[in-house]
């Protein structure tokens, strides 16, 4: 392997849009390493991605939550390394059939994508652990996929309120083995940004598992 590629650290501000996919066979080749971001439509997923990559236009933010209906891939400065923005759910005013279609293709990606190193679940600290959040947590637990939870919009609460909210979330998640990180986060104030980036780096740069 090229020694330059092994020594160079991942740089999140190198993120660039690569491709959008509506289904699994439109995704980039399934090797390397990637981390996916999921969240209910109004949880602040796009804002979190933009803050992590220091690019206010990387992921679309919209006054109408739920506009993103595709799996969006962003390349990083290391070869075959991606951040992935998964479709949001919850508030989009679309047909039931379209929502079912989204869920089907999202399920295919999560179940079959071999290079997926971890999932970042973005939830609003003021409205945590929705039905969608719980479904994603259970899925990661069942499939033994490392999970990081970003409790976003922490700047909307006083610090004491935010700490209390985090304690409440942590207490409800004690039984789950594969939640590796629970981060109080604000895209506005940059709270939790360094912790989030460090966890992403560990996932993305972990050595590949050697198969027998």
pTM beyond 0.85, yes or no: yes
Confidence of residue 89 (pLDDT cuts 50, 70, 90): low
- The per-residue pLDDT for 3 is 44
- The per-residue pLDDT for 155 is 97
Which tens digit of pLDDT belongs to each residue from 193-212? 999 999 999 999 998 764 54
Confidence of residue 42 (pLDDT cuts 50, 70, 90): confident
Tell me: pLDDT of 92 over 80. no
The residue that leads in pLDDT, 199 or 93, is 199
- Quick one: average pLDDT of 94-105? 66
Confidence of residue 91 (pLDDT cuts 50, 70, 90): very low
Tell me: pLDDT of 39 over 50. yes
The residue that leads in pLDDT, 135 or 62, is 135
Tell me: pLDDT of 185 over 90. yes
Calculate the average pLDDT of the chain: 88
CA dihedral angle for residue 141, residue 105, residue 114, residue 184, rounded to 10 degrees: -50
Q: CA angle, corner 63, sides to 82 and 133, nearest 5?
A: 55
C-beta neighbour count of 115 within 10 angstroms: 18
C-beta neighbour count of 23 within 10 angstroms: 14
d(CA 149, CA 112) in angstroms, rounded, equals 22
- Sign, CA dihedral 115-102-143-198, equals positive
- Quick one: average pLDDT of 109-116? 94
Tell me: pLDDT of 65 over 60. no
Tell me: pLDDT of 1 over 50. no
Tell me: pLDDT of 60 over 90. no
Classify residue 24 by its DSSP letter. G
Classify residue 26 by its DSSP letter. G
- The per-residue pLDDT for 40 is 87
Q: What is the crossing angle of helices 45-53 and 193-205, to 10°?
A: 80
- The per-residue pLDDT for 132 is 85
């Amino acid at each position: 392997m090229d020694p330059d590629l092994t020594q160079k650290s991942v740089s999140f501000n190198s993120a660039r849009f690569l491709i959008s996919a509506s289904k699994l066979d439109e995704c980039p080749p399934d090797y390397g390493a990637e981390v996916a971001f999921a969240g209910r439509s109004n949880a602040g997923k796009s804002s979190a991605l933009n803050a992590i990559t220091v690019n206010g236009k990387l992921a679309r933010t919209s006054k109408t939550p739920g506009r993103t209906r595709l799996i969006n891939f962003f390349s990083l400065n290391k070869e075959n390394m991606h951040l992935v923005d998964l479709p949001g759910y919850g508030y989009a005013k679309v047909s039931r059939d379209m929502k079912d279609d989204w869920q089907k293709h999202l399920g295919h990606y999560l179940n079959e994508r071999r290079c997926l190193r971890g999932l970042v679940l973005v939830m609003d600290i003021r409205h945590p652990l929705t039905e969608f959040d719980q479904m994603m947590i259970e899925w990661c637990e069942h499939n033994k996929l490392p999970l990081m939870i970003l409790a976003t919009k922490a700047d909307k609460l006083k610090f004491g309120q935010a700490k209390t909210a985090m304690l409440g979330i942590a207490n409800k998640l004690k039984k789950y083995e594969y939640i590796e990180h629970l981060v109080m986060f604000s895209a506005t104030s940059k709270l939790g940004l360094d912790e989030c980036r460090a966890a992403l780096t560990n996932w993305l740069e972990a050595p590949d598992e050697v198969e027998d």
